[in-house]
Amino acid sequence: MTDQAFDTLQIHAGAEPDPATGARQVPIYQTTSYVFKDADHAARLFGLQEVGYIYSRLTNPTVSALAARVAALEGGVGAVCCSSGHAAQIMALFPLMGPGLNIVASTRLYGGTITQFSQTIKRFGWSCTFVDFDDLAALEAAVDDNTRAIFCESISNPGGYITDLPAVAAVANKVGLPLIVDNTLASPYLCRPIEHGATLVVHSATKYLTGNGTVTGGVIVDSGKFDWSASGKFPSLSAPEPAYHGLKFHEALGPMAFTFHSIAVGLRDLGMTMNPQGAHYTLMGIETLSLRMDKHVANAKAVAEWLAKDPRIDFVTWAGLPSSPWHERAERLCPKGAGALFTVAVKGGYEACVKLVNNLKLFSHVANLGDARSLIIHSASTTHRQLTEEQQIKAGAAPNVVRLSIGIENAADLIADLDQALAAATA
Ligand SMILES: *Cc1c(COP(=O)(O)O)cnc(C)c1O
> Each residue of 11-58: pLDDT tens digit?
999 999 998 899 999 999 999 999 999 999 999 998 888 889 999 999
> By percentage, how much of the chain surpasses pLDDT 70?
100
Nearest Cα residue to atom 12 of ligand 1:
110
The full set of domains in the chain, from first to last, is: 6-285 (3.40.640.10), 289-425 (3.90.1150.10)
Coil, strand or helix at 186: coil
Mean pLDDT value of segment 379-405: 85
Strands 218-222 and 401-405, sheet pairing: unpaired
Element (H, E) at 300: helix 289-308
Which numbered atom of ligand 1 lies nearest the CA of 185? 13
Ligand 1 geometric centre to CA of 145 (Å): 29
Q: What is the pLDDT of residue 1?
A: 44
Coil, strand or helix at 12: helix
Task: Please state, in angstroms and rounded to a whole number, the distance separating the CA atoms of residues 214 and 232.
Answer: 42
Pick from 290, 317, 106, 98: which is nearest to 209 by CA? Answer: 290
Q: What is the pLDDT of residue 2?
A: 52
User: Would you say the pTM of this structure is higher than 0.85?
Assistant: yes
Q: What is the pLDDT of residue 382?
A: 86
Q: How far is CA 75 from the centre of its chain?
A: 15
Mean pLDDT value of segment 353-364: 95
Q: What is the 3-state secondary structure (H, E, C) of 188-256?
A: HHHCCHHHHCCCEEEEECCCCCCCCCCCCCEEEEECCCCCCCCCCCCHHHHCCECCCCCECHHHHHHHH
Q: How far is CA 20 from the centre of its chain?
A: 33
| Ligand 1 pocket check for 83: Cβ under 6 Å | no
Q: What is the pLDDT of residue 126?
A: 98
Pick from 87, 374, 88: which is nearest to 79 by CA? Answer: 88
Task: Please state, in angstroms and rounded to a whole number, the distance separating the CA atoms of residues 329 and 340.
Answer: 16
- For residue 154, the one-letter residue type is S
Q: What is the pLDDT of residue 371?
A: 96
Identify whether the C-beta of residue 190 lies closer than 8 Å to the C-beta of residue 333. Answer: no
> By percentage, how much of the chain surpasses pLDDT 90?
88
Reported confidence tier of residue 387, pLDDT bands at 50, 70, 90: confident
| Ligand 1 pocket check for 182: Cβ under 6 Å | yes
pLDDT tens-digit profile of 250-282?
Answer: 999 999 999 999 999 999 999 999 999 999 999
Q: What is the 3-state secondary structure (H, E, C) of 327-358?
A: HHHHHHHCCCCCCCEEEEEECCHHHHHHHHHH
| Ligand 1 pocket check for 417: Cβ under 6 Å | no
Task: Please state, in angstroms and rounded to a whole number, the distance separating the CA atoms of residues 263 and 269.
Answer: 9
Reported confidence tier of residue 395, pLDDT bands at 50, 70, 90: confident
| Ligand 1 pocket check for 299: Cβ under 6 Å | no
Q: What are the φ/ψ torsions at residue 265 (nearest 5 degrees)?
A: -115, -50
Least confident span in 77-81, 174-178, 334-338, 378-382 = 378-382
